[in-house]
Chain A
Amino acid sequence: MSDPHTSGKAVPRHDLIDRLYHWVMAAAVFILMGTAFLPKFGIKFEWLTAHWISGIVLGVIVVLHIFRAIIWQNFMAMVPDGKDIVGAWRTLVGAFADTRAPAKPGKYNVAQKFYHLGIAIVILTLMGTGGAMLFKIDTPFWKRNPYVLTDEQWGLIYTVHGFAAMGIVAMIMIHIYFALRPDEWHLTRTMFRGWMTRKEYESHHDTLRWVPDTEK
């Protein structure tokens, strides 16, 4: 078999560094969810150390990812544009009546873009509130100081952290469902090996809206 990279069959989608970001974030979020919620189901263990350390790992990775996306990557590839909205509308109406099929997406489809926006908001909320909650605990590096905020303000922070935490459980369930669907598998696979076949690229994407890095 010829090497897909040299034969022009492989269309690069996620660089190694981005795949690493994704999987480290995934691991951190799983640890955060497990440490937060397993004890609430009666599986008791020393949860907090793993929780705050994973929280900081997640925070660092997310900040790096944001810098990389803004400076070196095509930030707009993840931002919904006019065509996405029109396409989403057609899909919605198309569920009830015959309309023209929506246009093919660029690198990311509209559902992915909105999902990304949603999970970005939830994760940034968890990082912001969780980062503040680090003031409430003793670690080898600092001592707790609950006085930076009032009781009422802490109550609000814990409430927001709690709701975002439950929200992310729901969002991750939906994410895993889509990742495992056979018709999405060609995308999931790119998060492992970084590339898709040219056939997949041409049949699922608008080649004008997404021009792979190697073809610019």
Chain B
Amino acid sequence: MHPQLFRYAQGPYGGHEVLLGASFDLLIWFVLAAMAVIIFHAVYKSG
């Protein structure tokens, strides 16, 4: 599955799509970003 940014669905009246919320597939990317910051800082400080 391709990670998506948002959750969409067909609107109640058909036709257009409505936005439902954020895609929680992204959570892992937020966690990885935080880990990258932490590792970068730890390495920088110890170096």
Contact = CB atoms under 8 A, between A and B. Distances in A.
Does B bind A? yes
Interface of A: 37, 40, 95, 151-152, 155-156, 158-159, 161-163, 165-167, 169-171, 173-174, 177, 181, 183
Contact of A177 (B11, B20, B31, B38): B38
Contact of B22 (A159, A170, A171, A181): A159
A166 B19 contact: no
A171 B19 CA distance: 26
B34 A158 contact: no
29 contacts: A95-B44, A151-B12, A155-B18, A155-B19, A155-B21, A156-B19, A158-B20, A158-B21, A159-B6, A161-B21, A161-B22, A162-B21, A162-B22, A162-B23, A163-B26, A165-B22, A167-B30, A169-B27, A169-B30, A169-B31, A170-B31, A170-B33, A170-B34, A171-B34, A173-B31, A174-B34, A174-B37, A177-B38, A177-B42
A166 B21 contact: no
Most A-side CB within 10 Å, residue of B6, B22, B41, B42: B22
Interface of A, helix, strand, loop or mixed by DSSP = helix
Nearest to B9: A155
- List the 3 closest pairs (A to B, CB-CB), nearest first: A162-B22, A155-B19, A158-B21
A37 B27 contact: yes
Contact of A166 (B6, B20, B22): B22
Interface residues of B, number: 23
A40 B22 CA distance: 13
A173 B26 contact: no
Interface of B: 6, 11-12, 18-24, 26-27, 30-31, 33-35, 37-38, 41-42, 44-45
Contacts of B19: 152, 155-156, 158-159
Contacts of B27: 37, 40, 166, 169
A216 B41 CA distance: 36
Contacts of A159: 6, 19-22
A120 B18 CA distance: 30
Given A170-B34, A173-B34, A151 B18 contact: yes
